[in-house]
Amino acid sequence: MIEAVNLTKYYPPPIKSLFDLKSLKDFLKTPREEIPALVDISFKVKEGEIYGLLGPNGAGKTTLCKIANGLVIPTRGHLYIAGYDSIQDHDKIRGRIFTIFGGSRDLFGLFQWRVSVEKNLRFIAELWGIPKAEAERRITHALELLNLEEKRHEWYQKLSAGMRQKVYLVLPLIIQPEVLILDEPTVYLDVFTRREVWNAIMELSREVGTTVLLTTHNLKEAEILCDRILLFNKSKIAEGTPKELIEKVQALKAERKIIAKIKGRINPKDFEGIAQKIEIQGNGESMYIQLYFKNEDLKEILSRLSQYNVVDTQNSQVTLEEVFTHLCKR
């Protein structure tokens, strides 16, 4: 449904202020380097898939979303949506794709401030050509799903900033686009609202079959929502399911971590030769031992720990956050 082929974008170099220039010669002589935003990015997203674009600030995520909307022209390469080139065939794409930028609180000015949420939604549904009865059904369902029923008759103006953002996220549920592009959709939302939005995105993908391209800095969000993830910083770093990415890093670091609370004293020598790193804390009645080891040594570690009076253990897996920091380290 979405395919990027060697997508590359270099922004033009910033122009020096005339006041900073000593002479015209100085201006002509200064090399003006272009700013790379995307370099040879290729990926394919299947219909109904939720595909995450992850990368540090300035990685090129928003640039990619803008290319999908025809707002930025790539220097090289193509982005195809439903087989159409996002720039050359923009007219054919416009009705198939819906985008929310930067947790938009109505970037495009779609909402009337002194009009109720319901009337705004009806108006936008009409703009998208959704039959009246179907629009009513979708509006009711979307407001229920996002816990916004009591705001139905409220003026848009009277909503808090976060609520406005949430109302904006009702739109994909009403429009039900073939492709939904979400650039940091939950950036300003509280933890409860965020979960409601995750449910809505999942429902769109699973039940309507909407293909979702999502950028986020919330790694929990990526882990929960995304079927696959592209990790990149201008150019590609890694691609895979959240589980695959985690396993990749586990294999790289060959590390797993266990924290055990033990009654009595611990002799670190008991773990030498098997644990890669041993950290011990406390010296009173109970002590904490933190052991880093290879996956295959789990059994042996547990057996050595069993000689002690273990009160509690915490066996932690590598998280997507560790993957991110490990693979994106600058």
Ligand X SMILES: Nc1ncnc2c1ncn2[C@@H]1O[C@H](COP(=O)(O)OP(=O)(O)OP(=O)(O)O)[C@@H](O)[C@H]1O
Binding site for ligand X (CB under 6 A): 11, 35, 37, 55, 57-63
Residue 83 binding partner per list ligand X, Mg ion, none, with a CB distance cut-off of 5 to 8 Å that depends on partner kind: none
Name the one range near Mg ion by CB under 5 A: 54-62, 71-79, 82-90, 311-319: 54-62
Answer whether 111's CB lies under 8 Å from 120's CB: yes
- Structure tokens belonging to residue 278: 């041993």
Residue 63 binding partner per list Mg ion, ligand X, none, with a CB distance cut-off of 5 to 8 Å that depends on partner kind: ligand X
- As a three-state string, the secondary structure of 213-260 is EEECCCHHHHHHHCCEEEEEECEEEEEECHHHHHHHHHHHHCCEEEEE
By beta-carbon proximity to ligand X, the closer residue of 120 and 215 is 215
Q: Produce one character per residue of 110-140: b if its CB has 16 or more CB atoms within 10 Å, e if not.
A: ebeeeebbbebbbebbeeeebeeeebeebbe
- Structure tokens belonging to residue 247: 């396993």
By beta-carbon proximity to Mg ion, the closer residue of 217 and 304 is 217
By beta-carbon proximity to Mg ion, the closer residue of 61 and 166 is 61
Least distance between Mg ion and beta carbon 184 (Å): 6
The answer to whether residue 233 forms part of the interface with Mg ion (CB under 5 A) is no
By beta-carbon proximity to ligand X, the closer residue of 15 and 133 is 15
By beta-carbon proximity to Mg ion, the closer residue of 178 and 221 is 221
Residue 242 binding partner per list ligand X, Mg ion, none, with a CB distance cut-off of 5 to 8 Å that depends on partner kind: none
Q: How many residues bind Mg ion (CB under 5 A)?
A: 2
> Cα 174 to chain center, whole Å?
22
By beta-carbon proximity to Mg ion, the closer residue of 61 and 234 is 61
Residue 179 binding partner per list ligand X, Mg ion, none, with a CB distance cut-off of 5 to 8 Å that depends on partner kind: none
Residue 59 binding partner per list Mg ion, ligand X, none, with a CB distance cut-off of 5 to 8 Å that depends on partner kind: ligand X
The answer to whether residue 165 forms part of the interface with Mg ion (CB under 5 A) is no
Q: Tell which phi-psi region holds residue 6, choosing left (phi > 0), alpha (psi between -120 and 50) or beta.
A: left
Least distance between Mg ion and beta carbon 55 (Å): 9
Q: Tell which phi-psi region holds residue 79, choosing left (phi > 0), alpha (psi between -120 and 50) or beta.
A: beta
State the Cα–Cα distance between residues 325 and 282, nearest whole angstrom.
29
How deeply is 261 buried, as exposed, middle or buried, from its count of CB atoms within 10 A (0-12, 13-18, 19+)? middle
Residue from 54, 62, 125, 219 in contact with Mg ion (CB under 5 A): 62
By beta-carbon proximity to Mg ion, the closer residue of 61 and 122 is 61
Residue 58 binding partner per list Mg ion, ligand X, none, with a CB distance cut-off of 5 to 8 Å that depends on partner kind: ligand X
The answer to whether residue 69 forms part of the interface with Mg ion (CB under 5 A) is no
Q: Tell which phi-psi region holds residue 181, choosing left (phi > 0), alpha (psi between -120 and 50) or beta.
A: beta
Least distance between Mg ion and beta carbon 327 (Å): 19
Least distance between ligand X and beta carbon 59 (Å): 4
Could you tell me which residues come within 8 angstroms of residue 230 by beta carbon, excluding any fewer than 6 positions away? 41, 43, 51, 52, 53, 54, 236, 238, 239
Interface with Mg ion by CB under 5 A: which residues? 61-62
